[in-house]
Amino acid sequence: MDALLPTDYSVNAFFLTHGGRSKPISVTISLEDQKLMHVTYDRSLFPSDVTISQISVNVDGFLYHVYFDYACHQYNLATASYLFIRLLQHKCATNICIEDDLPDLLVILEECVFLSVPLCDCN
């Protein structure tokens, strides 16, 4: 199946921010050697002077990549922001439909944010 994946494609992701407007956004996925996934998004989503961290979270068999400012997540939740990307098998990203995926995103937030379980920096 990996050989059938396009090397560059766009999907709908979801950007959640505590300090502004949450919204669906389009991101570009690039596959390097069909094994490494690189995500390109509007860098203005996060402040320019921060390092973005990434985690993978499995919710009832669905895998999500979450991008976030680790320092802000740890020390200033009032301005924290999160970019969610849903994955299928073989690191193939798929569109997030907020109406369908919102329960999963809330589980991720509840477990990792509201219960203060620290997200690890998995870069």
Confidence of residue 1 (pLDDT cuts 50, 70, 90): very low
- Of 46 and 116, more confident: 46
pLDDT digits (tens, 9 = 90+) for 64-76: 988 888 888 778 7
Q: How confident is the model at residue 29 (pLDDT cuts 50, 70, 90)?
A: confident
pLDDT tens digits, one per residue of 106-123? 999 887 765 544 555 444
Question: CA nearest 78: which of 29, 34, 115, 113?
Answer: 113
- Residue 36: exposure state from Cβ atoms within 10 A (0-12, 13-18, ≥19): exposed
Average pLDDT of the chain to the nearest whole number: 78
Tell me which of 32 and 33 has the higher pLDDT.
32
SS3 (DSSP) at 123: coil
The model's pTM: 0.80
